[in-house]
Structure 1
């Protein structure tokens, strides 16, 4: 696992505490949390009339390496029983294109909470962690669904002690249903992308970005 996921059990000194929420604390995820992480990450995400969830089986920690170049997963736990995970947030790094060049940027994703703990100050605790433990000049990227008003209110509104938001793009995704099968469909087939065809695939992506 990545260096930001602890292979050994946590200890009390590794817990982050905030004066705004004394019942819960933040710590690094460990390999022992994997089953709980899969369950929490499967919590549905609000969308425009569509129920979305994300598949991470058989291992959330392994799957996070497909989303991040370097995961950095934080979990929220009760102070009286730090083995129980009630919420999670991944603050890892991944390559993003900035001015046409790939550069590492922190990416906020998989912000999930056990529904039984909604209404507590769990999100406030996570934001306190970000404010206190991560350099103030850090740039985070996040993608929030329009209908996810909870996440939007946390990440997209300026407030004291929270990261300063900057709304920089809007992405529209459309679904297609009942599409007619093309007559020429049989001439196409799926193939596994191999290292020899990476340049060809990248060239296709560059051409299609104009559309």
Structure 2
């Protein structure tokens, strides 16, 4: 079974409360306990985190819950990964180092650098299945990837467009929490972000 640091879901409880829902009840429904989230370095089952995010999206009536949650987070959600790559000379070297050490944050995740002429795709894949679905987990993961890459490039955390294979949700959340989200492109051929080759 693949595991992920519970810190990946930082700010979950606060966001769920803002939507008027009970985060502890949602955790229990997903087979998790609140105590598992107290220490961000506690590992939890990846499929259960995926289930928790899907349950929360439904109960909060927010189809972009994963992206909204990521916008509340800082690089601390990635644990030691940012520190491990901080001394790399280039963004390309930092990304290669991240891929080597991604298991420290989440097992079952891979980052692939795909050159596309003058652009480069940073494509995420998550080798996890959840009976509840994976859309919210992928939203969260791609948004966290974008936040990390933006920190490497020293640009605004919403500067990169998030590319998602999932279809556009029928009712993209129109509350104030959705107004500050990065640009999103749905029904894409990959999950990730695109950079100019020169940025590497």
Do the two structures share a fold, i.e. TM-score over 0.5?
A: no
Q: Which has the higher strand share?
A: 1
Which structure carries more relative contact order (alpha carbon 8 Å, separation 6+)? 2
Q: Highest Rg: 1 or 2? A: 1
| TM-score using structure 1 length | 0.27
Q: Which has the higher helix share?
A: 2
